[in-house]
Amino acid sequence: MFLKKLSLINYKNFSSENFEFDNKINCFVGQNGIGKTNVLDAIYHLSFGKSYFNPIATQNIKHGEDFFVIEGNFEKNDREEKIVCSLKKGAKKIIKKNSKAYDKLSDHIGFLPLVIISPSDRDLITEGSDTRRKFIDGVISQSDKGYLQTLLKYNKILSQRNSLLKYFTANQTFDKTTLSVYNEQLDGYGTEIFNKRVAFLETFIPIFKEQYKVISGDSENISLVYDSKLLNDSLLNLFDKNIDKDRALQYTSVGIHKDDLNFNLGEYPIKKFGSQGQQKSFLIALKLAQFHFIKAQANTNPILLLDDIFDKLDENRVSHIISLVNDENFGQLFISDTHADRTEAVIKTIHQSYKMFKLGS
């Protein structure tokens, strides 16, 4: 699978722009702020129906305009696939595949497998559990439609349960029977999500450890540890044990929406005890493991976006990532960098076709 053409109208800093891509390597070079990352984000948008960098959809519309359109022409399994993502202020975002709009945006997830490696990935280490849950859910959802639908249903019922808890407090009342209806639904959806997360990590963790070993050049004891109260108890029991707490807080304090993925170096959190180099290797290994997992599940090469990695990583790590594409079984690669000469020098060592795009010149 690869992206042949990209058209942008009123997307971020672009009024109107068209690109035709090489099916192997494409490099966007230019000064900071010129829009290199925005092109990569547009490609991400076509795959996931949202921006990787700015979740507020309307803020991706060019300043002074009231809509944006992103259009991509892909080749997948020897077929032409045209994807259009558009948003107008005051209206719902629309994604069309071959001129037919999706009823639900979630139905599009997984059709165009894609992985991005960016400096902003550091949020996976520094931010709260929500960021790491989104990572797990995002990887699983690209190859499991049912998982995403179950997750959406769980979150809908969770919101309703939280509203009921607020209602109880506001009206100084309590109805255990009504609450149990939500508990049972959450137990069904939550247990299914938990089991799929466990199964996913059983496959994913060995891939991750192998990638880290190759990147770091040594065998440091690193680990991913799934942190969930469901490992030791059922969700229904947890709801019963925490009902007084939930009523006091007026929201649901336990469930799969509170799970985390612990990043460890030895027995300690890599956030506190890992060097910058170890943290960078950890994150790259995480993303490359994501690439290999999705490739195996989707039976196709995901598109790989490398945002500004030359400025953020040392030469050995960059060389390792780039060397991965020196393989006919790899896929299409998009790179952004501030230095054209540096980028081209590295790309030339790969012996694959490539195309350079100098933005702002």
pLDDT of 276-328, one tens digit each?
888 888 998 999 899 999 999 888 889 999 998 776 666 666 766 776 666 66
* Domain identity same for 165 and 281: yes
> How confident is the model over 44-81, as pLDDT tens digits?
999 999 999 998 999 999 999 999 999 999 999 999 99
Q: Torsion angle of alpha carbons 287, 38, 106, 26, nearest 10°?
A: -60
Q: Pick from 248, 279, 299: which residue ends a domain?
A: 299
Q: What is the pLDDT at residue 217?
A: 72
pLDDT at 33 (0 to 100): 84
The arithmetic mean of pLDDT across residues 177-197, rounded, is: 97
Whether 100 and 182 map to the same domain: the answer is no
**Same domain flag for 277 and 136:** yes
Q: pLDDT per residue over 196-234, tens digit each?
A: 999 999 999 999 998 888 877 766 789 999 999 999 999
User: What would the pLDDT profile of 162-182 be if each residue is shown by its tens digit?
Assistant: 999 999 999 999 999 999 999
Q: Does residue 329 carry a pLDDT above 90?
A: no
Count up the domains in the chain and report the number.
2
- Among the candidates 248, 277, 299, a domain finishes at 299
Element (DSSP H or E) covering residue 215: helix 176-216
Which CATH number is 52's domain given? Answer: 3.40.50.300
Give the domain-ending residue among 270, 299, 328: 299
**pTM score of the predicted model:** 0.90
Task: For residue 266, give its domain range.
Answer: 122-299
Are 63 and 126 within one domain?
no
Out of 111-120, 137-146, 339-348, least confident range: 339-348
Q: Among 256-260, 267-271, 322-326, which stretch is predicted with the lowest mean pLDDT?
A: 322-326
CB 324 within 8 A of CB 330: yes
Here the CATH number for the domain that contains residue 240 is 1.20.1050.90
Indicate if 245 and 312 belong to the same structural domain: no
User: Looking at the predicted structure, is the pLDDT value of residue 336 above 70?
Assistant: yes
Q: Do 135 and 255 reside in the same domain of the chain?
A: yes
Same domain, 91 and 133: no
Say yes or no: 282 and 315 in one domain: no
In this structure, the answer to whether residues 250 and 143 fall within a common structural domain is: yes
Whether residue 290 sits in one domain with residue 170: yes
pLDDT of residue 312: 63
Q: What is the DSSP string of 116-173?
A: EE-GGGGHHHHS-HHHHHHHHHHHHHTT-HHHHHHHHHHHHHHHHHHHHHHHHHHTT-
Residues 6+ apart with CB under 8 A from 92: none
Percent of the chain exceeding pLDDT 90 equals 74
Based on the fold, state whether residues 272 and 174 are members of the same structural domain.
yes
Quick one: pLDDT at residue 29?
92
320 and 291 together in one domain:
no
